[in-house]
Amino acid sequence: MPASLRNVYRPEIDGLRGMSILAVYFYHINLGFYEQNIFRGGFIGVDIFFVISGYIITTISLHDEKINNFNAIKFYTRRIKRILPIAFLVMFIITIYSYYFDTYSKFNLNFELAKSSFLLFANFFLYFQQIEYNSINSDYIPLLHYWSLSIEEQFYIIFPLIFLLKSLRFYFFTLIFFISLFLCITISNIDFEKSFYFSYTRIWEILLGVITAILNNNYNLTKSKKIFYYKYFLLFIIIIFIILGNQKNFYPFNIIFITTITALVLFKHKDEKTNAILSNSILIYIGKISFSLYLIHFPVLSYLRSYDFINSGTSTNSIKVGFLLLLFLIFISILSYKIIEKPFREKISLTYTIIFLSTIFALINIINSYFWAIKKSNDNFQTVNTRIIQDGAICYNRKKNFCTIDNGKNLSIILVGSSKALEFEKLIIDDKELDFNKILTTHYDCDMLVPGYLQGIYNKAKNSFILTCSEELQNNRLKEINKSNAIVIYFTDQLLEIYNQKYFTNFLNYKSDSLGKVQSIINKEKCLISTADVQIYSVKKTCIHYFNKEQQKEIISNAINQTVKTISDKHKIIIVYPIPQHGWDVPKIYTTPNFVEFIKDRIVKNRNTRHDRVNFYESSKIISEMKKNKTFYIPIDDYNNYLGNFKMILDDHKNFTEQVYPEKTLCDKKKCYSTKNGLMYYIDDDHLSEVGAKIVYKNIKKIIKEKF
């Protein structure tokens, strides 16, 4: 630490940082005791960080001003050297790892998020990509936590400009504080994700720290014996909230409450004794490495979940696992702090810092350039689905205000389905021959079911049911359908995965992840007990048996029957049978020079018998032949076996629906093709590319033109 700052250093603030980062870590790892999440309010650690950040930068700036040493350039230099080296390095490591080990679609997302983080708007990127921070799937995005870093960096741009106003700065900071707080309260009732991600609904937290520091500087209150005790009481409240808090129920008033308490803890009275809890040497040291620990812990947890080394979703992790992993992360963070953070902050010049940052930026772009070179050399190479944008936001993943093309017709084409239907959005919107009204209601992991049936995850130990498919979305879908005469294009892929309780496995067992018995559909009225949380329900004891595999199949069958009947009574419906899945990342097997070697270790490590190894090497010969011919496939029997009796559920509705069978165009009598004649039909293992979607869409369009 520079000698000039030692006079303003308060070890208890590092202690508060340490407590906050531990709360965030335990929240993210979902630490449990008897399957109960111990730190469900740990998310407030980030809000505490915001207040601390505002308090510290203001305290340091006031100190620099006092000794005539404050200027905007120096402030920016200090922030750049403090934040960017380790932040850029983590992004670089994730980019390299993602390129080699993730699907190309996930690599593309990670690169775009890294790029937006470079440009300081990761928070906006996540919002406009409709990525919900608290969704189960967000746990698998390794750079998701950079949203908070972007908010701080955006604030740091404007801070010195207002600080230089001197006598007016307190009033400007206070005015912006109240405007931001008002927007936060107002927007949170309309759009929670916008309130969560946007800077103008978040900077009031940082400004609370700024205002506290200014008041602390101007009004050095006399010490009182009561102060010593009330701060312990405030810390006790923070700890209780970390254990019992809930993010959405009382947002943003819970955050207003906890950040106000944090500001009171930070406010230092004259000759005040150091807080014994926050001055604990272990907490202080964890506070010193908290920035590295924050940046490193989430990517590590993300990839450990991807490989099933730790539990994900609603399943908790044991205290033993949580603490062993914490020790490992602390060790890595200490190295990061000593090798990267401290040297750049205290020794390395701004010039060399910029060279370092520029090098990392260039290397990440070189990796991405190689990725795009592969894409350019393959005319139909595609790793992400096309996104339609309307009113400044993508259409995919909306729960309401669905994207609509109003052509003034009495008949509307309505697309309903999960991400498997996403590539069809553009085909429908761009099709000028079908000049009906067009409405898009696709949503991640959410095929349509009539209200009453809810899709979610059942936690046996807690006897709870957590929604993964919003009831609001399903209600709004049905309302949209009933507004006019409708042709509903009904995709069913997600329902098949739940029906089978597992993902598709190809003949190499390349993808064999199990959904397990927790992924479920249940009747809300009969089995779920309403709770304060709009996403979590308790399950009636009389309904526990419904979550076994056979009962789930019956429930899914009833749910589909009621859904199709409800829609078809008044509207036209085209059922799109499940699209063949392939179990491997199609763009990667097509472009990787030696795909057999690429997947060999991943497959063989899960095989223990000689028979399994022989099967692998026999299968590798098939793969080599596929590679040579640039045509990859799975046996159609594998697809039919996975489809199983689910097909019969859909077949029951043939008399009053139209049907589209993707296998009739993507498969022949023996094979279902991933690629054919150099054309890639998929963007990963189970999502069609534009080329693949066009093949299936021809049949959808033919039915609409001939039947309706």
pLDDT of 359 reads: 94
pLDDT of 392 reads: 78
What percentage of the chain exceeds 70 in pLDDT? 87
Distance between CA atoms of 638 and 524, rounded to whole angstroms? 34
pLDDT of 160 reads: 96
The CA–CA distances, whole Å, from 433 to 352, 430, 695, 696, 704 equal 59, 9, 17, 17, 11
Of the two residues 94 and 459, the one the predictor is more confident about is 94
Least confident piece of the model among 351-365, 588-602, 607-621: 607-621
Name the CA dihedral angle for 444, 445, 448, 451, rounded to a multiple of 10 degrees. Answer: -100
Mean predicted confidence (pLDDT) in 80-104: 92
Angle at 477 between CA 484 and CA 549, to 5 degrees: 135
264-298 pLDDT, tens digit each = 999 886 656 667 788 889 999 999 999 999 999 99
Distance between CA atoms of 189 and 80, rounded to whole angstroms? 35
Q: Are the C-beta atoms of residues 695 and 394 closer than 8 Å to each other? A: no
Model confidence at 456, in pLDDT bands (50, 70, 90)?
A: confident
Model confidence at 454, in pLDDT bands (50, 70, 90)?
A: confident
Tokens of 440: 């898009």
Contacts for 460 with CB less than 8 Å, ≥ 6 apart: 517, 518, 544, 547
Q: Are the C-beta atoms of residues 42 and 242 closer than 8 Å to each other? A: yes
Tokens of 109: 């997302």
Mean predicted confidence (pLDDT) in 508-516: 49
Largest CA distance in the chain: 87
Tokens of 530: 């309403």
Model confidence at 225, in pLDDT bands (50, 70, 90)?
A: low
Mean predicted confidence (pLDDT) in 98-108: 83
Q: Does the structure show a pLDDT above 80 at 495?
A: yes
Distance between CA atoms of 545 and 460, rounded to whole angstroms? 11
Q: Does the structure show a pLDDT above 60 at 515?
A: no
H or E element: which one contains 419?
Answer: none
pLDDT of 277 reads: 83
Cross-strand partners of 679: 676
Model confidence at 233, in pLDDT bands (50, 70, 90)?
A: confident
Name the CA dihedral angle for 183, 187, 192, 198, rounded to a multiple of 10 degrees. Answer: -40
- CA end-to-end span of the chain, whole Å? 74
Pairing of strands 393-394, 389-390: antiparallel
Tokens 């199709």 found at: 564
575-601 pLDDT, tens digit each = 999 999 988 788 877 776 555 555 554
> Taking the model in full, what pTM does it have?
0.80
Domains of the chain, residue spans: 3-364, 389-707
Model confidence at 341, in pLDDT bands (50, 70, 90)?
A: very high
545-558 pLDDT, tens digit each = 788 888 888 889 99
Q: What is the number of residues in the chain? A: 708
pLDDT of 612 reads: 42
- The per-residue DSSP string of 459-525 comes to ETTTTEEEEEE-HHHHHHHHHHHHTSEEEEEEE-HHHHHHHHTS----TT-S------TTEEEEEHH
Q: Does the structure show a pLDDT above 60 at 457?
A: yes
